[in-house]
Structure 1
């Protein structure tokens, strides 16, 4: 048992060593707070290691506003489609789907969009600043993104979303015909129009970025304890944390940033938060599988293709199936088959398949704030597809809350008790 584990009392404990927990540790360690990060696997070894690598600061539309509800009946009939629910899991999901439907109302959409736009402005500023302070700006790529459509009608259906982005000051333009090849050579001619977002950024590899940020946090004094947090309770004005192997930690302040597992811990703090799990799949191909210039987004098919330092990642889509069902890697294979049709020169051999758990709340906004039953506990989870994108902003907001400062943006829309 290491010295840090023998030391019972800690100023701040963070549960969850994904990109959100790592970023929070970095911000708090910079502020000279004594920080311990706890995770059952390791630093950036879970969902944060295999995401699509996008810093999607322009992705301000709530999931429930993207025409998803109209497409749901067709998608649910396709077990390999962009959005599916495991039949055995559907009864469990009904309450979440009801809240998702409520979030698709006009007023709810408008409120979510406004909150997401404010969050994204903060996210971009804080991520650029954090990577600069950590000396890892070189791990960010500024190639823009290209969303592709197979018809003008498909673009027209998506246009309201682009109008909202324009209102938010997000730059983009539509390109057609032969001009598409200038942005990405080798595309299938089935794509006739695309939307280019010049300020869209990606990272060279999300796992490597997370580990590099942790190295910075560690240099600032943060420490790591490997262990699975199982129980939480109030103890002499602090929070007692029981690990699965019987060890105990005590935290003056506790931050729960455990991704898709966070609601189990939140329940012990008096909060029933409707967190669900979007299971995402991908295949990472060798680097030389295609001359990919930038992230390509196939919105109508629910997946993206991203160039990484370590390969070409084909992945996305949504499968609701909870935390316990076995992966269905036929979904990865279906996306890869489509990718080969969309990029006819793509070599699909030698790929590594992966599945991860995205923590999703019905209104597409994370839970950021205090626990109901334990005042020294703070929540930082539920980012859905946007954990990497919003990690530094979340870290800034948690630092503000822990330090008793006024948060950088209005946190009312992110209130964990809003449901």
Structure 2
């Protein structure tokens, strides 16, 4: 990556400038480039070095239920007071996030939840249709794994509480089956006997390593004439029939279109463009253990505890949970430790030594839907952010929709539900 980044860049005009070189920005660049557009990626660190680097690596196409749900409102009060639980808010951050929480509560109402689930399902169907083609076009199909996933339950009560969610998925044509006993043991040997049953989703997919995927896709963009500018962005503004980007070092870049795909850092750009989007930050934690730590057959989902385990080519990743704490508070890696301790209890043979801890910033909106569509200031400036923990999953769908908007084609699905003005 450094060999691409170090190439001197004297050009100042592009068809499209994309602010943010995580998986969303890179996927958009792939689609635009395939459509004949010249692209530049701008990122303060480089390709895939923020949230895209350490995520759980899932193409979670069956994960159609928004975080804002009637069920979570019942669980949240208990969770919020556990600093190491599945969903927590550091006490000093609570006053700042209160307006977001009020919107989250509103979005959790049953009627709004069902409407947003249907929108999410439509976006997931598009994502599932597009993802394989995106990877194949860039020579990355070998990085895709189709082993399915297991969602595990520690009691019949927990299993029954999950059934309404599976009914919603069934209505959307999502394939799954509930498993017990010998079949469960065969799908994942070595599980604690505390799990009474599980749900197997055979079409759930993962990648060999999420950072290697975004790095591969990003390098393919650069190899095909795209440019990477490693710099901070001071300002984004409309300019004539296009957009102007002013970098921290004073350079001014022009393009016919600009895309805001800066994840958790997109809020300031949107506000400057007249769109006060209630974007917050889900801080996600994980530990990546050596490959030899356990013979993990597929991704395991511990829904009651808010974390997953994923077998990667680079290790066993134990991570998840939601800490709503913004961009500035220091990491609380006790959360990583707590998940690892639970994982060792659930998989008694797990070797917990030699892990690497990580924390990333997931861009989260109160209704769990992303913002995809034009800004108020100019239709030439398009938003693509707020995917929460589904950035990798929805990256190809977002790339397709943004390219449709740039080329003024009818989008592959309606984008009105993702409008910044919905708030």
TM over 0.5: yes
> Are 1:66 and 1:161, in contact at CA under 8 Å, matched by a contact in 2?
no
Q: How many residues align?
A: 419
Which residue in 1 is equivalent to 2:46?
Answer: 42
SS of residue matched to 1:80: coil
Name the residue aligned to 1:228: 232
Query: Which residue does 2:221 correspond to in 1?
Result: 217
Q: Which residue of 1 aligns with 2:263?
A: 259
Structure 2 matches for 1:2-13, cutoff 5 A?
5-13=9-17
Give the structure 2 partner of residue 202 of structure 1: 206
Runs of 5+ consecutive residues of structure 2 not aligned to the other structure: none
Measure the CA separation in 1 of the matches of 2:379 and 2:69: 34
Q: Classify the secondary structure of the residue corresponding to 2:174.
A: coil
Q: How does 1:53-202 map to 2 (within 5 A)?
A: 53-65=57-69, 67-202=71-206
Preserved contact between residue 230 and residue 265 of structure 1 (Cα < 8 Å): no
Q: What's 1:397 paired with?
A: 401
Shift of 1:61: 0.5
SS in 2 for 1:73: helix
Kept in 2: contact 1:36–1:222 (CA 8 A): yes
Pairwise CA distance, 1:234: 2.7
Using the TM superposition, give the Cα deviation of residue 219 of structure 1 relative to its aligned residue in structure 2, in angstroms: 3.0
CA distance in 1, matches of 2:291, 2:192: 20
Instruction: Choose which of 362, 365, 371 in structure 1 pairs with 2:369.
Output: 365
State the shift of 1:3 in Å. Answer: 7.5
Q: How far, CA to CA, are the matches of 2:51 and 2:7 in structure 1?
A: 29
Say whether residues 1:29 and 2:33 are aligned partners: yes
Asked if 1:238 is matched to 2:242, the reply is yes
CA contact (8 A) 2:238 2:377 kept: no
RMSD (Å) for aligned C-alpha atoms? 1.2
Residue 268 of structure 1: aligned partner: 272
CA distance change for structure 1 residues 33 and 224 in 2, over 3 Å: closer, same or farther?
same
Match of 2:383 among 379, 384, 388: 379
Contact 2:23/2:214 (CA < 8 Å) preserved in 1?
yes
Tell me the secondary structure at the aligned position of residue 313 of structure 1: strand
What is the DSSP-based 3-state SS (H/G/I as helix, E as strand, rest coil) of the residue aligned with 2:420? coil
Structure 2 counterpart SS, 1:25 = helix
Distance in structure 2 (CA, Å) of the matches to 1:161 and 1:377: 36
Contact 2:18 2:260 in 1 (8 A): yes
Cα deviation, residue 178, structure 1: 3.3
CA distance in 1, matches of 2:7, 2:390: 35
User: SS of the residue aligned with 1:207?
Assistant: helix
Shift in Å, 1:176: 1.2
Per-residue Cα deviation, 1:190-241 (whole angstroms, up to 9, x for no partner): 1011000000000000000001111222233211111111212233333221
Q: Is the Cα contact below 8 Å between 1:397 and 1:408 reproduced in 2?
A: yes
Q: Secondary structure at the match of 2:361?
A: strand
1:340 corresponds to which residue? Answer: 344
The change in CA–CA distance for 1:173 and 1:276 in structure 2 (over 3 A counts) is same
| Structure 1 SS opposite 2:64 | coil
**Alpha-carbon distance in structure 2 between the residues aligned to 1:159 and 1:141:** 27
Confirm or deny that 1:310 pairs with 2:324: no
Contact 2:281 2:362 in 1 (8 A): yes
Counterparts of 2:130 and 2:223 in 1: how far apart (Å)?
Answer: 19
In structure 1, distance between residues paired with 2:207 and 2:282: 22
Cα shift at 1:252: 1.6
Q: What TM-score does the superposition give when structure 1 sets the normalisation length?
A: 0.98
1:8-36 deviation per Cα after TM superposition (whole angstroms, max 9, x unaligned):
22221000000000000011111111100
Distance in structure 1 (CA, Å) of the matches to 2:239 and 2:134: 34
TM-score, L = length of structure 2: 0.97
Taking the aligned partners of 1:258 and 1:265, their CA distance within structure 2 comes to 9
* 8 Å contact from structure 2 (residues 282, 363) kept in 1: yes
CA contact (8 A) 1:76 1:84 kept: yes
